[in-house]
Amino acid sequence: MKYKHLSLPDVILIEPEVFGDHRGFFMETFREEEFKQHLSCGSFVQDNHSKSGQGILRGLHYQIQLPQGKLVRVISGEVFDVAVDLRKSSPFFGKWSGAVLSAENKLMLWVPPGFAHGFYVISREAEFVYKCTDYYAPEHERCVLWNDSSIGIDWPIIPGTSPVLSAKDENGLRLKDAEVFA
């Protein structure tokens, strides 16, 4: 696998080696000893899978207690995936990195604990899978507003549309009002 640090050095874009021929393809998506060598990921304890339609935006989510690192990828369709550094002590606090993940490019993104995460569906629909380093704990879940101007994410919103949001995401907090990490 190839590992590329994005503008936030702890957020890493991962390109797996893909072996393909007329029958299809094969690739490894996780190898514990290799990931521990290249990422500070600890152990994964939970896998998640979501499906969303075009124009749906999920995020920016994080858990203030039991923070989750996430290894994310798309198995159908295409999304714009984003990580925001919420570690107050980081020189990158409030900054974001993003990448297009798709079934076609097979890229994965490592979003470390201490970061908010979100994605926007570009294709007609997308299936998104991810491994987590801690369990989902809804009582600790928080949400930063997806379009907070102090963060300034350049979402590739389809012209003439608005993203489709959950009530939780519509009511996300601005970064200045959100609970963040030390």
Number of separate domains in the chain: 1
Active-site residue, from 49, 120, 130, 136: 130
Q: How confident is the model at residue 27 (pLDDT cuts 50, 70, 90)?
A: confident
State which residues form the domain around 151: 2-17+28-177
Does 164 fall in a domain?
Answer: yes
Does 23 fall in a domain?
Answer: no
Q: Do the beta carbons of residue 41 and residue 69 sit within 8 Å?
A: yes
In this predicted model, what pLDDT tens digit does every residue of 31-42 receive, in sequence order? 777 777 777 767
> Could you give the 3-state DSSP secondary structure of residue 6?
coil
d(CA 97, CA 7): 6
Output the pTM of the full model: 0.92
Q: Among this protein's residues, is 61 annotated catalytic?
A: yes
In this predicted model, what pLDDT tens digit does every residue of 33-68 receive, in sequence order? 777 777 776 789 999 999 999 999 999 999 999 999
Order of strands, edge to edge, in the sheet holding 57-63?
Answer: 96-102, 78-85, 115-121, 57-63, 141-143
In this structure, is the dihedral angle defined by the CA atoms of residues 143, 144, 147 and 151, taken in order, positive or negative? negative
Active-site residue, from 61, 62, 117, 120: 61
Does 22 fall in a domain?
Answer: no
Does 102 fall in a domain?
Answer: yes
> Could you give the 3-state DSSP secondary structure of residue 115?
strand
d(CA 98, CA 74): 14
Does 104 fall in a domain?
Answer: yes
Supply the CATH number for residue 89's domain. 2.60.120.10
Q: Among this protein's residues, is 135 annotated catalytic?
A: no
d(CA 62, CA 44): 16
